[in-house]
Amino acid sequence: MQENKNLLKNNFRIISLNSTIIYIFAFLFVYFVYQFITAFIASQYHIRLIFYYDQLKFLTPDNSPFWYSDSAVTIFTAGPLVSAFMAFVFMMLYQKFANNDSLIKLFFLWGALHFINRIIGSFVIGTIFFLYGSNLIADWMYLGMEIKIILVAAAIILLLAIGSYSVSAILASANSYTFLKLENRGLFIKNQIFKPWLFGSLILIILYLPKFPLHETLINVSMLIMLIPVYFKFDNVMLPDVEDEMPVYKFSWRFLVFLIVFLTAFRIIFGKGIPFGSESENESGLLEILIIIAIIIIGLIYQFINSLRTKKKRMQKMMDENFNPDIMG
């Protein structure tokens, strides 16, 4: 009994560490995609900017003829539209990998939540705190303050609704019914969701030092708004009382190394900034972006292949144990 408790405690500790790593990586991946789409579309309107790790710095002045209603609305709606599409894709991929116990599944879950938050939460934070670049769609559409207040309230309600709808999906990220028993479910949610949110948010603040980008800090607060319903509803979901073997979790050193490499490249490359606007800048910037995308895809594919190999070895071991002639004899 004590051995099982120790194993359960150790598993929850590893779950928390792995989920924190995935939370950070998914956050940066979503930020990268969102900002790149915005930068690329802006460059098509000959608007010059520099893509930094903490912001898009627009060099074209506001009174430039390149800035007009259609260009501004197109530029600042491109990111949300692509994010909405990516959130849908990530949710479909999460369901596709539902029976896979690798961290790829968790990456798709956190990624979907981050994409949703990047759309809705960003609007809420930007509008409430009047942050440049977060609520420009509403500004260029000349919406009044009363309309903005209504939209912010509706956005917060939508975040809560999405969080409530996500409870079952979050519980499905457990790879064992043992973690979902009523006596263990609260600890699972704490270590799979809330600890990663807290520690991930703190690590992201450290990543941006010595700068302190208010928007990228506060957007994690809007993520908490979406996660609040999980805290109140996780024990209301009815699940079958199934006895299964509790898996032995292992800390993902590969994902940690991959994250460290990605963070280093993120700070170095985007620390100096990637310019967009002119034809030569667009070609150079696009090449750098494609290299980064290739690295991310290769890393994810490697992690997925490794998880398949691990699963195959585990299945082979089970078959050997069940059909071993000595045992059967």
Q: In what order do the strands lie in the sheet with 56-58?
A: 56-58, 49-51, 274-276
pLDDT in tens, the chain (329 residues): 555 677 778 888 999 999 999 999 899 899 989 988 999 899 888 899 999 888 888 898 878 888 887 888 888 888 889 999 999 999 998 988 777 767 788 999 999 999 999 989 888 887 777 665 555 555 555 666 777 788 889 989 999 999 999 998 898 888 777 788 888 888 999 999 999 999 999 999 998 888 888 888 889 999 999 999 999 988 877 766 666 566 667 777 877 887 888 788 778 888 888 888 877 788 788 888 778 777 777 777 777 777 666 666 666 655 665 655 554 44
- Amino acid letter at 225? I
What is the predicted pLDDT for the residue at 224?
A: 94
Structural domain boundaries enclosing 133:
2-328
Say if CB 55 and CB 47 are below 8 A apart: no
Q: State the SS3 of the chain.
A: CHHHHHHHHHHHHHHHHHHHHHHHHHHHHHHHHHHHHHHHHHHHCCCCEEECCCCEEECCCCCCCCCCHHHHHHHHHHHHHHHHHHHHHHHHHHHHCCCCCCHHHHHHHHHHHHHHHHHHHHHHHHHHCCCCCCCHHHHHCCCCHHHHHHHHHHHHHHHHHHHHHCHHHHHCCCCCHHHHCHHHHHHHHHHHHHHHHHHHHHHHHHHHCCCCCHHHHHHHHHHHHHHHHHHHHHHHCCCCCCCCCCCCCCCCHHHHHHHHHHHHHHHHHHHHCEEECCHHHHHHHHHHHHHHHHHHHHHHHHHHHHHHHHHHHHHHHHHHHHCCHHHHC
pLDDT at residue 10, rounded to an integer: 86
**Number of domains making up the chain:** 1
Contact by Cβ (8 Å): 110, 169: no
The pLDDT assigned to 30 comes to 92
Strands 274-276 and 49-51: antiparallel
Positive or negative: CA dihedral 227, 231, 233, 234: positive
pLDDT at 162: 94
Contacts 24+ apart (CB under 8 A), 49-52: 49/275, 49/276, 49/277, 50/273, 50/274, 50/275, 50/276, 51/270, 51/273, 51/274, 51/275, 51/276, 51/285, 52/270, 52/271, 52/273
pLDDT of 8 reads 78
